[in-house]
Structure formats: C-alpha cells, structure tokens
Amino acid sequence: MLGMLSVIFLGGLSGCDRNAKGLIPEPSDAFPGVIEIGELEVVDGDTLNFFIDKQRGTLAHIMPNLDNETALLVGAADAAEAGIAEGYEFSACPELEEAVNGMTSAERLEWYTAHGTLDCGIFNSDPEADHNRDAKPYYYGQLGRSPELTQGGATFTFIGTGEDVCVIVDPETVFWSQSIAPANRVDQFAYPDHFDDDGDLDIFAGMSSYYTGSPGVEIGDFRGFYTDSKGEVVEIQYGECFQTGSSQGMTDAHSGRGTTEYCTIDTDQQEGVEFTVVLETFSVPLDDGVLSFGVTVMNERCPRVDTSECFIRTESLSSAGAPRACTDRLEAAQCAGQLGSFCCANPEMCGDEGNIENGLCEDIFEVDQAPATRDEWCGSTGLCCDEEGELEIESGAGGGGPGPGI
C-alpha cells in the first residue's frame, strides 16, 4: 500500500512543471538572443513617405512588406498618367525624379539605402555615392531567447544631429488587459488578449562612449562611476533615454508587453557624436519563442511623432520573416478603438473566447453608430481577416493618437 502511494506521489512530482520551465521558450539556433543591427539613420517623416508613396508632410508610417509589384510614377510621368501628380513628389528635382521613376516601394527602399539622400543638391553632387554611410532608415528584426542567466537584446547606433531625436520600438504584437467590470464595460477591451503572441523590449540609450556592452555579443548598460576627492564612489547613469514615467518621478519606466516604447534624446551640442541604443529583451512570446520588432529613429521630439501601434506596422513576423497573417488588422483595430468588435469578428486573433461575457459579440458590431451584422462591419471597416486585399489604413493623429480613420 505504502509502495503504491509512493509511486503515485513520485509520479505526480515528476509530471509536474514544478519550476514553470515549460513556460519558457527554448533558445533557437535560427534566432540569436543578442543581435547588432548596425547604424540607423535619424530619418524624417518625408523620407518614410517616399517609400510608401505618400504625400510629403502627411503622417508617415513604416512596414516590413513593401509592395514589390506596383510601379510608382513621379513628376511629369505621374501627371501624364493620373492627370495630376500625387503621392510623394520631389520639389523641382528632375534628376531625382528620373532616378526613381517607375520603381516599386521595395525598390525605392533599396535605392535609398544605396544612395542615402532625397536632397536634390546632395544627390546631384555625386549621384552614384552613398551619402549616409549605408545607414538604414528603419529596421525590422527578430530575437530569440537568450541562454540562461544572460541578458538578450538588440543594439544599434545613430549619429547625433544636434537636435532632439525620437527612438521608437514596437515589439509584437498588441496587448491589452481585459475589461471585466460588471458595469460600464469598455467594449474595446472586453475580449481577452491572446497573451502568448506578445513580447516586450525595453529601450536604453546614451552616448556610445559610455556603453559597456559588446555589440552582437553581450548586452551592457550606460552606468559609470564617479569617485570624488575623498575616494567615495557614486554610480552615475549615463543613459539619456528618459521616458514619460521617469519624468514624473518614476525611474527606469518602460512600456509593457506588445506596446510601443519611445523616448526623446536631446543631442544638443552632440552633432556627429555616435549614440548607442539598447533594446533589452524583457519577454519573448511563448507561442514561437521568437520576438519580432520594428524600430526607427525620427528627427523630432516624440510628442510630434505618431507613436501609436499604427506607426510601426506589421512587426509580427513569421520564422520566414514574413508578416504574420492579419496582424496588420489587429494593430489597426487597436488604433481605431475597435478591438472588441475585431475579436468578435476574428476570434482566432484574440484570447480565449470562453472567457468573454455572455452576449458580448451579439450586439457589438456597429456601422455609423447603428447596429450592424458582422459582414456589414467587415465590409465597412476592412478589419476582418477573411477580407480580400490589403487593408487601407489612414494615418491618424500624431503623438500616440488614434490610428486609422475607419
């Protein structure tokens, strides 16, 4: 009898995931835990608009899957075909128009990376040269889990402009806490999030001379030590990436999982000085053990930049590096405040539908503030995964405001 009980007890113990290791993704050979991205350009919004053929001065966004089929026309060629030149247009620079006319979005990015300028004067000074040291205008990447007891993450550099710059990173995908209030339910968050597809990266940044890590090998920090004249040692934080929380008295504030994180870095009197940005891995998605992300550096203060989910789009990538199906629509729904309706329409993109309030999805769809069916809502918003074609997302207000105007 005692022996049988012992067998049952030991069997139970060995079957339990007593230390929760089963929840930790396995390290992957294909996706290292520490990567070095290289140099990112401090880019302006109009450069990003050039890639996606949007009018200069409009709110920009980036995406990993640029169109590689549609030839984009500029200047006289565009006017001749469309009647009026639209999309991205150069300001009186026939040489640049001739150089990029007929390129697809993907080809424009490739051309820009090779030439590094959209400035007419700089381009004409040497049309064959690379004018920005091969710096990338933005980057999409993937990180695996780092081995035990080591810090994982990505690093890149940028060159100070002498002005404020904004570093923005968006880890996959979208996260929200479910609204479970018995009264005054918030429909946007009434459906649970799919927890396992979210990752989290934390930004740290400072002058490269203060960085203690080895790019691509080991993640470091920006801590230094000052020794006063009596020999007392004080730790100094040389990091310059102060986020909103830290300005309100919270040090080391960071965004949570699946949420854009950004900070303004003042490079005043540091024009030409190299800065290092560290994206520390805080959590890796549990579903595939790979953390996808998008990152860019804008030449503006962050409050003047769109820092919503709809700025860095479709950062959730498959193991092949391709955008995961329908994640662009999930982000668009988040920006538009339509997560509740989106999840009811596409339950495979969200959390456990067994945990939603009874009847939530029966009357949640609205079109023009009137009750609608799922199909009517899908047709109106384009936010259903089974819809054909590419989602048209209108850029929203800057500074983290709403995304698409749907």
Contact between 230 and other proteins by CB under 8 A: the answer reads: yes
- Which CB sits closer to other proteins, 165 or 169? 165
What gap in Å lies between CA 8 and CA 61, rounded to an integer? 58
Q: How far is the CB of 143 from other proteins (least distance, A)?
A: 30
Contact between 352 and other proteins by CB under 8 A: the answer reads: no
Q: Which of 232, 368, 388, 392 binds other proteins (CB under 8 A)?
A: 232
Q: Which of 234, 320, 358, 388 binds other proteins (CB under 8 A)?
A: 234
Q: How far is the CB of 226 from other proteins (least distance, A)?
A: 5
Contact between 251 and other proteins by CB under 8 A: the answer reads: no
Per rule CB under 8 A, count of chain residues that contact other proteins: 11
- Which CB sits closer to other proteins, 268 or 287? 268
Contact between 128 and other proteins by CB under 8 A: the answer reads: no
- Which CB sits closer to other proteins, 267 or 292? 267
Six token digits for residue 49 = 């608009």
Contact between 252 and other proteins by CB under 8 A: the answer reads: no
Query: What string marks each residue from 266 to 295 as x (binds other proteins by CB under 8 A) or -?
Result: --xx--------------------------
Query: What string marks each residue from 155 to 194 as x (binds other proteins by CB under 8 A) or -?
Result: ----------------------------------------
Kindly list the residues in this chain that would bind other proteins in the complex (CB under 8 A): 226, 228-232, 234, 236, 238, 268-269
